[in-house]
Amino acid sequence: MEISMELNISAEYLFQRLSDTLIYDVKQETGRELTFEELKDLSYATSLDRQTKAKLKVTKFIPNKSYHVRLETPEFIKHEAYELTALAKDKVKVDYFEKQQAKQKLHSLRQKLTAPFRHSLRRHNFMKLLKELEIGY
């Protein structure tokens, strides 16, 4: 899935909000309070729900420009990337990429069957989230 959008907020503000969600998740999962600078090359165990354990790794972290993560569960590996391009002081272009690979054939088949619905719903929710961030700016 790919989404590209222009928002009337600064790249710094959007990147800080993305980083804040990661810092909050680390604190909830590990009890550690990290600083913004400690997010580069971060790796930790997390849970997606009560039954699904996962390992999250920050694979690229360039402040105000790029933020990539890799999430691995027993069923799949998911890559997410945010690329930010500052167009003006208070205008940013966001390019979001998401790719999910199933580890087993059964999960791969299930993923193919549900992908159109999931992508449509995720696209809608993600764009709504970005617009809410823009309104809160």
Total domains in the fold of the chain: 1
pLDDT per residue over 110-129, tens digit each? 666 666 666 677 777 878 88
Domain region containing 55? 2-136
Question: What's 70's domain CATH number?
Answer: 3.30.530.20
How far is Cα 10 from Cα 122, in angstroms, rounded to an integer?
24
3 strand-pairing partners: 96
pLDDT per residue over 45-68, tens digit each? 998 888 889 999 999 999 999 999
How far is Cα 87 from Cα 43, in angstroms, rounded to an integer?
31
H helix or E strand, kind and range, residue 72: strand 66-72
